[in-house]
Structure 1
């Protein structure tokens, strides 16, 4: 069976367990649920789960991309209508045997305008992406199918997220084979140029008045042949294995933010580019600080006398502490701003530290303290101070 048919006969919606009209959010949720259930780390030694994991990842890589999904749907609609059939009987697409007449479709519609192998866009590009760069001529190694993107997550302490840190992540995924370094050829040997297509990955044949380019049947559209496949990866250049990735988390990262690590996703087949790894960062709450954008916020417990008489109080910062002057007569709940003591900014500089004073009242007092407070209350009343003046009117 030709490679195109294997792809286009696949029902990616069924692989993810969603309907063909599922929303992008439904597709994302279905993929995440299945990826957790089928991940090799959760099913050690289970080859069936591993294979299903690959199918689910493959389906998600197409359906999560709005353009690829639309063009995939269009291709399947053509197949279902019978206007897009293979030469050898049955449905699917094998690069030839297009139906003609009034009910046939225009080659320009299939290849995005012009003759086969012409301009960019349309189903020609979609087929090229889905079939590992074999959708049209000129798509040799540089159009090989890129590996799938991966998603993982990590949890950081609040201060590590604010100041930046490096974390080690353990990821199990398809990676370049360590024995053949991703070439697919047994160590000591190398892939050779396919003699049938001379490395172009395509052969040309004529049908009626048209010339058709299709993937080379001898090399399956790769442009190379492997005489001695690597025994570790079976010639794919990829094996599923655990690996450790050191991730530099930039300062100021926020809870829920995603970090993209280019080329750290699933490996492509036979040396094709790897996908990307997306790391979602979760940040633990801090016992002292909260955050508002690039500003840090902290509540400072103070006594009544410190608010009334004024005081200089030590306030914690991210890396040490700083003295804050509380002016005499400061109201409870007032916020004092300390410039440049907040979250470091990527563009340079830092946000501010917002210190909100919060009065703390003693629950017990000894006799001298009670006497002093009584005298203070009498003096306060004699001065004419009324904390509720104008309140409730």
Structure 2
């Protein structure tokens, strides 16, 4: 009978607190759960992690295990020290009770106390978690309203047999200041548990949908403002769209193509409720067609202005 290092199985240090042990167990249980994992040996890894948490998740069992751990090493035959006896009265090497889910090593230490330590042992299995992506429009990130979400939920019979999926619909409140790629958890909204186990969870990965007008730069937005050449030269006023309506933007005379004008507080919202800025980027749009009269005017302007845009260029 080989010694089992339960700390190594969960991937935690012997000094790890209860919170770290629980988090490590949940991570492994989700990864190797037979209903989820397709990896070879996943079921054995799942049972091994469950056994490790049965011991380390119970203060009483963990204390006894820590006493014995100094006498054994992973992968080596284990023998309890002379005179050692379980605090519950079961001696090392004593078998009994329903310990079929656990190893010989576990049974030799704790006898028939599987599931009777510091925490009750769950008989059912937790339902499968559901992961999905949810597209969020930029306008929705400001509204704070609920969004209807439909998704498919795996179903199992009482004996664990896979059944047809069902479609579930929820109204999900979009958190303020949501960022692209942010993941939120809706507890108990995944697949139903098996044999009385708790429901799985729904995990939503939020994605900001591309917008036809705005580019996202952190909490700031950028919008291209198309202008005729003479509007840049002479100045004008333009009604510019924002996420909450339109604003009148003044373009000063002699403005430049590519220039950005800042409109404070019209960007996206952060977690503290503060909004970023909107940058209106000026973009010259040339006429696609010119008649002879128009070309003559352009030529007259060129002769009159005497402007060389490439002076000093390439030097």
Same fold by TM-score greater than 0.5: yes
Match of 1:92?
Answer: 103
Distance in 2 (alpha carbons) for counterparts of 1:254 and 1:60: 34
1:53 corresponds to 2:35: yes
Residue in structure 1 matching 2:151, options 170, 178, 181: 170
When the two chains are superposed, the root-mean-square deviation of aligned CA atoms in Å is: 4.8
Q: How many angstroms does 1:147 deviate by?
A: 4.6
Structure 2, unpaired ranges of 5+: 1-5, 7-26, 57-71, 80-92
Where 1:374 maps in the other structure, the secondary structure is: helix
> Contact 1:167–1:249 (CA<8 Å) still a contact in 2?
no
> Contact 2:178–2:271 (CA<8 Å) still a contact in 1?
no
- Provide TM-score, normalisation by structure 2: 0.62
Structure 1, unpaired ranges of 5+: 1-7, 9-26, 35-50, 99-106, 108-115, 118-133, 176-231
Could you give the per-residue CA deviations for residues 202-222 of structure 1, whole angstroms, max 9, x where no partner exists?
xxxxxxxxxxxxxxxxxxxxx
Q: How many angstroms does 1:170 deviate by?
A: 2.0
Q: How many angstroms does 1:332 deviate by?
A: 0.7
Residue in structure 2 matching 1:137, options 109, 114, 117: 117
Q: How many angstroms does 1:263 deviate by?
A: 2.7
> Contact 2:35–2:128 (CA<8 Å) still a contact in 1?
no
Match of 1:357?
Answer: 282
Name the count of aligned residue pairs: 252
CA distance 1:93–1:340, change in 2 (3 Å): same
Distance in 1 (alpha carbons) for counterparts of 2:207 and 2:185: 15
Match of 2:186?
Answer: 261
Distance in 1 (alpha carbons) for counterparts of 2:121 and 2:155: 20
Q: How many angstroms does 1:261 deviate by?
A: 1.3
Distance in 1 (alpha carbons) for counterparts of 2:73 and 2:151: 43
Where 1:53 maps in the other structure, the secondary structure is: coil
CA distance 1:245–1:81, change in 2 (3 Å): farther
1:153 corresponds to 2:138: no
Q: How many angstroms does 1:301 deviate by?
A: 0.9
Where 1:265 maps in the other structure, the secondary structure is: coil
> Contact 1:169–1:247 (CA<8 Å) still a contact in 2?
no
Match of 1:390?
Answer: 312
CA distance 1:331–1:150, change in 2 (3 Å): same
Where 2:281 maps in the other structure, the secondary structure is: strand
CA distance 1:352–1:143, change in 2 (3 Å): farther
Match of 2:225?
Answer: 300
